[in-house]
Amino acid sequence: MNAIKHIIAVASGKGGVGKSTTAVNLALALRQRGATVGLLDADVYGPSQQIMLGIADGTRPEQQGTQYLLPIEAHGLKTMSMGYLVTEKTPMVWRGPMAGGALAQMLEQTLWGELDFLIIDMPPGTGDIQLTLSQKATVAGAVIVTTPQDIALLDARKGIEMFNKVQVPILGIVENMALHQCSQCGHVEHIFGERGGERIAADYGVPLLGSLPLALAIREQTDAGRPTVIAAPESDLAARYLQVAEAVENALANAGGSAVQQFPNIEIKDD
């Protein structure tokens, strides 16, 4: 882990806002910009990156010695996921400490090698996985993914407040499903509300890293195992993800560097 320059958590307060899709496209966009990138699927209960990356079912990571795992490479990314360790039909019926332990093992016992960025696709919510990550590694920053919908924004605020409590800087907001443009007539509708990402970014004084439309192509490409940045690199959608990657790099440059720590940094407060 000492060879990882920046750990970035991609998080959301609730599920269904496109967090995993954003995480994989951000990782691929950073790689396209010349970085060496790893991707860790920390959603222990519902891993999806193995499908989005087109990894065949039954693919298992190789062991190095008795303790370490070699990451599985896909589209130039070094990846690890609970989806590689269980079958698609295996439910993870675990209590929180077991899930946190699984994250710690994938994070610390994967031989990542030298990385410029390790993107961590976080599960929704503010529970054990988030706390484990904040204790096991110094996270360079968090990217919060939301839709403009008021309910999603409410949960996004909780996610921001949680990262503030564990002293993880917020790099910015990615607004997903910001608008929908009809493929037949070109009419634009703000199905989930309008400018919600701008409002929450302004409230917390963080940048709006990018805004993505509700687009059929994004869903089709990730379901097919070839995310947008790989499937349509010259498209407007890919350009938007590349802009998000550039904005993340700029936010990190402004926030300063971050080194990985090997031991928990636990702080107890009355609140």
Residue 262 falls within a domain, yes or no?
Answer: no
Which one is predicted more confidently, 120 or 183? 120
Pairing of strands 72-74, 77-81: antiparallel
- The answer to whether 163 and 141 are in contact (CB under 8 A) is no
Higher pLDDT, 17 or 134: 17
Within-domain flag for 232: yes
* DSSP strand pairing (37-41 vs 115-121): parallel
Question: Is the pLDDT score of 263 beyond 50?
Answer: no
Question: pLDDT band at residue 25, thresholds of 50, 70 and 90?
Answer: very high
Per-residue pLDDT at 192 exceeds 50: yes
Number of domains in the chain: 1
**pLDDT at residue 264, as a whole number:** 40
Highest mean predicted confidence (pLDDT) among 76-90, 196-210, 238-252 = 238-252
The residue written with tokens 């698609």 in the block is 88
pLDDT confidence of 132, banded at 50, 70, 90? confident
Question: If residue 22 lies in a helix (H) or strand (E), which one and from where to where?
Answer: helix 19-32
Q: What is the bridge-based pairing of β-strands 170-175 and 141-146?
A: parallel
pLDDT tens readout for residues 193-215: 788 888 899 999 999 999 999 99
Half-sphere exposure of 128 (CA within 13 A, CB side): 14
Instruction: Give the separation between CA 109 and CA 63, rounded to whole angstroms.
Output: 10
- 41 inside domain: yes
Tell me which of 98 and 139 has the higher pLDDT.
Answer: 139
Whether residue 266 is predicted with pLDDT greater than 60 in this model: the reply is no
Angstrom distance (rounded) from CA 28 to CA 26: 5
Place of tokens 């899709």: 21
Would 105 be classed as within a structural domain?
yes
Q: What is the mean pLDDT of residues 220-235?
A: 95
Residue-range definition of the domain harbouring residue 240: 4-252
| The two three-digit tokens of residue 166, written as one number | 């564990």
Least confident of 42-51, 94-103, 152-161: 94-103
What span, in angstroms and rounded, lies between the C-alpha atoms of 8 and 171? Answer: 9
3-state secondary structure of 76: coil
Give 151 or 239, the one with higher predicted confidence: 239
- Asked whether residue 116 carries a pLDDT value surpassing 90, the answer given is yes
pTM: 0.87
Q: What per-residue confidence (pLDDT) applies to 248? A: 97
The gap from C-alpha 189 to its chain's centroid, in whole angstroms, comes to 27
* DSSP symbols for 237-270: HHHHHHHHHHHHHHHHHHH------SS-------
CATH code (residue 106):
3.40.50.300
262 has a pLDDT exceeding 70: no
Does any domain span residue 257? no
Inside any domain, residue 185:
yes
Question: 221 falls in which pLDDT band (50, 70, 90)?
Answer: very high
In the prediction, which pLDDT does 9 show? Answer: 93
Helix (H) or strand (E) holding 114: none
Q: Summarize the confidence of residues 88-108 as an average pLDDT.
A: 70
**From start to end of the chain, where are the E strands?**
4-11, 37-41, 63-64, 68-69, 72-74, 77-81, 115-121, 141-146, 170-175, 180-181, 188-189, 208-211
Q: What was the pLDDT predicted at 268?
A: 44
Which is more confidently placed, 36 or 58? 36
Angstrom distance (rounded) from CA 169 to CA 198: 18
Residue 134 — very low, low, confident or very high, per pLDDT cuts 50/70/90?
confident
Query: In the prediction, which pLDDT does 83 show?
Result: 85
Whether 122 is covered by a domain: the verdict is yes
Average pLDDT of the segment spanning 184-195: 78
Residue 179 has pLDDT above 60, yes or no: yes
Closest CA to 106 of 78, 125, 126, 87: 78
166, part of any domain: yes
pLDDT category of residue 97 using cuts at 50, 70 and 90: low
State the average pLDDT over residues 85-100.
Answer: 64
